[in-house]
Amino acid sequence: MRIDIVTVFPEMVEPVIQCSMLARGQQAGSLQIRAADLRQFTHDRHRTTDDTPFGGGAGMVMKPEPFFEAVEHLREEAGWVPARIVVTTPQGRLFNQQMAVEFAQVPHLILLCGHYEGIDERVCQHLATDELSIGDYVLTGGELPALVIADAVSRLVPGVLGNPESLQQDSFVDGLLAPPQYTRPAEYRGYGVPEVLLSGHHANIARWRRLQQLLRTRERRPDLWQKVSLTPEDIKLLREAEQ
C-alpha cells in the first residue's frame, strides 16, 4: 500500500513516518509512506499556496490548483491504481476503526493537509473522496490528523504489525473496548494482578476478559454500548457479575 501526505510542512511529517511501526512496515516492503511538498506544485516565484477568501473575512484560504496538480502527479506516479483522497477537517465525518479497515484495502491513500482557514471548497467537492475529522476539537492544521489516519491504517496492512493476532484484541474490532492487560511483577507496591490471569485456566481467562470488555464499554462508552449485539454468553456473564 502507498500513502502520500500532501503538506506545506513536510518536515513536520517526515520524522514520524521514519519512526516506529510505520518505519517497520516500510522496511518490510508492504508499505510506502511519503510526505509530498505542496509547494512543489506551485508555479509562481513565491510558491504561493494560499490567498484571501472571496467574500472577505479573516485569514487565508488554501488555493485549489496545487492540490489538484499534486494528486494528479502522485496518482500518475502510482500507476492510477484505485485511490482514496482524504481531506482532514473539523467539518468531516468522524474517522473510526471501520474506516481504517476500509482504507487498508485500497492500494493508494492520499491525505491532503489544510492550513490557515482551510482549503478551497472545490478541493473538498471535486478532488477528495472523503472529508474526515479525528475528533471534536480544532487543530492548527491537517498534518496531525493525517498522521493519525496514516498510523491507524498502516498497522492494518499485512506485514506491518509483528503479531497479526493482536489485531483481534484491538478496541472497537467487535464494537467493544479492549480488556485490561497486566505483566510482571505479579505484585507491585502492594498492587496485585487479578488471580484468574495467573491461574493458567484459558477458558476462565477468556471469560474474564470478555466480561471486562463488556463492563468497560458499558461504563465508559454508552455510545458504543448502544450498538453492541450481546451473545447469550455475554448476557450470562453480565448476570453472573451482577450477583
- Report which of 45, 60, 64 is spatially closest to residue 6, judged by C-alpha positions: 64
Tell me the closest approach of the beta carbon of residue 116 to ligand 6SD, in angstroms: 6
Counting residues that bind ligand 6SD (by CB under 6 A) gives: 16
Site residues for ligand 6SD, window 156-195 (CB under 6 A)?
none
With binding defined as CB under 6 A, does residue 135 bind ligand 6SD?
A: yes
90 a catalytic residue: yes
Cell numbers at 202, concatenated = 484459558
CA 242 to chain centre: 36
Interface segment toward ligand 6SD; rule CB under 6 A; list 8-16, 72-80, 140-148, 223-231? 140-148
Q: Which stretch binds ligand 6SD (CB under 6 A): 18-26, 73-81, 129-137, 176-184?
A: 129-137
Q: Residue with C-alpha cell 454468553?
A: 233
Helices marked H in 106-231 — which ranges?
121-126, 143-154, 195-198, 202-220, 222-225
155 catalytically annotated: yes
For residue 165 the three cell numbers come to 493476532
For residue 228, report the phi and psi dihedrals to the nearest 5 degrees. -70, 135
Q: In degrees, to the nearest 5, what angle opens at C-alpha 141 toward C-alphas 137 and 143?
A: 105
Give whichever of 61 and 176 is closer to ligand 6SD, judged by the CB atom.
61
Burial string for 111-131 (b: 16+ CB within 10 Å, else e) reads bbbbbbebbbeebbeebbebb
Question: Nearer to ligand 6SD by C-beta: 25 or 142?
Answer: 142
Return the residue of 30, 133, 169, 171 that touches ligand 6SD, per CB under 6 A: 133
Q: Are 6 and 114 in contact (CB under 8 A)?
A: no
CA distance linking residue 166 with residue 173, whole number of Å: 11
Show the binding pattern over residues 77-116: x = contacts ligand 6SD (CB under 6 A), - = does not. -----------xxx-----------------------xxx
Q: Which of 45, 76, 138, 222 binds ligand 6SD (CB under 6 A)?
A: 138
Closest approach of ligand 6SD to the CB of residue 112, in Å: 9
The reply on whether position 54 binds ligand 6SD by CB under 6 A is no
Whether 119 contacts 67, CB under 8 Å: yes
- Residue 139 binds ligand 6SD, judged by CB under 6 A: yes
Of 14, 75, 90, 221, which is the active-site residue?
A: 90
**Which residues have a catalytic role annotated?**
90, 117, 155, 170
Residues that bind ligand 6SD (CB under 6 A): 88-90, 114-116, 118, 133-135, 137-139, 141-142, 145
